Chain A
């Protein structure tokens, strides 16, 4: 029995040593939380070169503002200030009662909003509009053009839905695909949509992932090519015009970048909001959350459009048009479709 007691003692003490093996969690103090977030960004953020931010300088400026006696509200303000210096819509800090956002990105997205949703709803979609997945659609210009409003890539953009819309209006001359104020979502949806566009095996973009703590530690570039068309989804050969503005962010910018490689697609409106870095998330020692971009994306010709994809043709919404129930961006898109179909194709602007 004595031997058994010794064995039990040994084994229980062995298992109770796990805290020593694991080590204690980082103490959730404001200073530790600040230092942890600063270091995470310093080692893992992928876009320092594009953003032009001196991250050491940010630390020197903001670290003295943090003390272990400060309130949660005060700490949150400092952390938000720190991460907002990146001017990246994919860089945020949040917890149960608040979430940070970059003022510059915020003003860019909403200060130059290039769509008037009531005008679109009342005069283009109409009360008899249809919906399929994330698409709201109807025909405009006496059935000659299909207008599709896609408000978020978070909503399903399945090829099945889009194919259904195309089949429903076989005589339409083209599609106006409205992505204004589409803040992004699931990037898989853009690949679903691209299945229905003419594929010539073209390169769409290149991407790199952060691979080490130095600011220039990246994996080799991976190239992405247009997805294959198939018999189930024959390519849509008619003109396809996408509408963007500064609120077209993240997955929408990825989509706009991809569209630059499709000859049948034209982007009009305003420059997109950007957001071509893939955000990655994590938790801070005090239980709050953060995310920021850990990848960077280049166009096929090697340019980084993190701050926005310029349109082939800039068309800004006219307040005078809106007053009379007209969206001049949609109207311009319709004219482009009709012009292209009249065998007078408009040369794409070589903005990339």
Chain B
């Protein structure tokens, strides 16, 4: 509990720091952006608490983001959701008997340097849910990963066709040096058991773990037209490594389209760009 309080305190401090840096950077008129992302994905999922076998399958994802850019600093709040149906890889393959969902909330600050280089940090919270009724009293699995991430981005003009509008190539990688994870304990019992239904026992067998480099991300894409449509490929890897009693790995490859709306604070210049 002590570590949990300290870690969450640190995360709050970092979030506050991001706001402070962002505020300092906003000496000029800020630009507000709102973006909606939809994508199709393919995920691999393995939770050693219930199965040593990797489950794979298609998924859909959606992301909503709001950002505020001033000078060279950009502060954004993002919500990302992914839901998929998976099957194991051992013959005879079952139908898609495992379903999973992921909800991610991210507060990120990126600072743009010369030559299209972006550096920044974010505080993330990822909540994972999975269900596979075959596993009886362990049919329900949940996990939470709270992490501090470092981001490195790069973007450069890209001329695909002569005499056409300039497009941009954008790329970014991110990783979490440290994270705090909330995972099922040794017996991996979910609340389906209702072993102690008279008490409030949600997640009573869950435990907290520290884990380094628990999330890795990479994305690359193309900004098209007047910089309001992005087509991108995104890869995300979430793991507990061996720091929890039962290791969990989750990877997602997704092809996404992002539509971005921009609003300048200056009323005379309040139009999309």
Contact = CB atoms under 8 A, between A and B. Distances in A.
Contacts, number: 130
A286 interface: yes
B220 A280 contact: no
Contacts of A227: 198
Given A11-B173, A11-B220, A18-B237, A286 B90 contact: yes
Contact of A283 (B44, B53, B197, B198): B53
Nearest to B193: A278
A15 B220 CA distance: 11
Interface string B53-96: 11000000000000000000000000000000000111110000
B108 interface: no
A47 interface: no
A7 B220 CA distance: 9
Contacts of B54: 22, 25
Given A3-B156, A21-B249, A285-B53, A210 B186 contact: yes
A282 B173 contact: no
Interface in A254-299: 278-287, 289, 291, 294-295
B237 A21 contact: yes
B55 to A, nearest CB: 10
B249 A283 contact: no
B34 to A, nearest CB: 26
A280 B134 contact: no
A60 interface: no
A31 B173 CA distance: 41
Given A283-B88, A286-B90, A225 B50 contact: no
Given A11-B173, A18-B251, A22-B239, A209 B51 contact: no
Contacts of B249: 21-22
Contacts of A36: 52
B195 interface: yes
Interface string B249-271: 10101000000000000000000
B46 interface: yes
Query: For chain A, what secondary structure do more than half of its interface residues adopt (helix, strand, loop), or is it mixed?
Result: mixed
A241 interface: no
B156 A211 contact: no
> Which has the most chain A C-beta neighbours within 10 Å: B186, B194, B198?
B186
A44 interface: yes
Contact of A209 (B46, B52, B205): B205
Interface stretch (B10-18, B23-31, B99-107, B135-143): B135-143
A294 B46 contact: no
Nearest to A286: B90
Contact of B90 (A28, A222, A295): A28
Contacts of B138: 280-282
A207 interface: yes
B51 A207 contact: no
Interface in B137-192: 137-139, 154, 156, 158, 169, 171, 173, 185-189
A279 B171 contact: no
A14 B218 contact: yes
A164 B88 CA distance: 46
B88 A15 contact: no
Nearest to A46: B187
5 contacts: A278-B189, A280-B137, A282-B50, A285-B52, A294-B189
Given A209-B195, A211-B187, A287-B53, 8 more contacts: A7-B169, A22-B239, A44-B187, A191-B198, A219-B205, A283-B134, A285-B52, A289-B134
